[in-house]
Structure 1
């Protein structure tokens, strides 16, 4: 298992464009220097009135498949 951390700050207006079907995945840069594409639907539970903001940790299995996504702060 691999754990990677990253920060997101996406406004409500930007998210609206994503959910209108223009974007299927978010591209994030991790603290470890990797770029990941994470399907947008994994973030739905973290969206608030101000958009999608926070410090996140993603856990990947040996085949780099998402096992868990959590907001740390």
Structure 2
């Protein structure tokens, strides 16, 4: 399984705007330089009143399907 680390800085107003329909995916560059597209819904458990901020480890299976995402320190 492949893992990538991404840093997310998404203010609450932008997350809400995106989640309400204008966008359903977040495109991010991993720390190793790869571009990945992730559904916004996977960040729902990490949303605070300020938005989504932090470093996340994203794990994919051999078919590049999302397996899990965890917030890291």
Name the TM-score class by shorter chain: over 0.9
Q: CA deviation at 1:41?
A: 0.6
Which stretches of structure 1, 4 residues or more, deviate above 3 A after TM superposition?
none
Alignment of 1:1-73 (within 5 A): 1-73=1-73
Number of residue pairs matched by the alignment: 73
Structure 2: segments with no counterpart, 5+ residues: none
Structure 1: segments with no counterpart, 5+ residues: none
Distance 2:41 2:6 in 1: 17
Higher strand share: 2
TM-score by length of 2: 0.96
Distance 1:31 1:60 in 2: 16
